[in-house]
Structure 1
């Protein structure tokens, strides 16, 4: 009886571990230094799937990336996300790396500055007639709680229900 209850609990634990949920990370910058955006800050959010993340993982592809600056929201398209990654050191998030998106008034690039521990955002004006309009800001990250997918909950409930059914049947 106890053995079956422990088996059901172990199956429930494996079910929770088997399906990793997307990790959503909020981020913000200090005020930009330099250029026309000097002093302004941005806030944003990105996500990645942490399946397979361990201490040897260096990068994971981003599944979404967006930010807000001066009331304007920018979102990377799926094409722009092609090379965007979350950077890790010893299994811990240290930054995010994106290529430049040039569809806006400014081109933004985010860098983990891998190895230094000082992730930053950099911008330049995308207007070819404007010169010397660029700046940078430090980026900080606040991981949000991950929420298991509904299929994970169903699997856990099925495992617990099976354990309770076997226990009741034996009694």
Structure 2
């Protein structure tokens, strides 16, 4: 198992050993990874799931956290979705990079109810593992290069610890320089 230097006060275990801490689609996607033992999970207080509160409470650096947002846009009546993964210290360039990648006139954050329904994950815990297979997973180059990251687990009561390389290797992952600004 990886020794996580960014864990702060978290008690980290192998995620594959704790499916009860993961949303169902995340547990299934984790099992399909080449080396699921390289992904850690830690239980947290669900009221502290938002990134800033989480980092403050558990002593994990904000610079090692990545956020996943669901973006939607329409083209010729077809709604298109993508997941964007950027460092917590940045914001996804939705109306520039993402809009062009989705080939839509306007892109915006998907409504909370839609994101939750389509992903099978809790709002505030959405993660790139286990998303609908047809969605592109847009990964900022800084995320892909990170040796260790804390991301959502699909639920608000835990966090995953994972490498940027693992995220960049996900099916449908597209590493994009300048996605996070």
Instruction: Give the TM-score taking structure 1 as reference length.
Output: 0.28
Q: Rg larger in 1 or in 2?
A: 1
Greater fraction of residues in helix: 2
Greater fraction of residues in strand: 1
Instruction: Give the TM-score taking structure 2 as reference length.
Output: 0.27
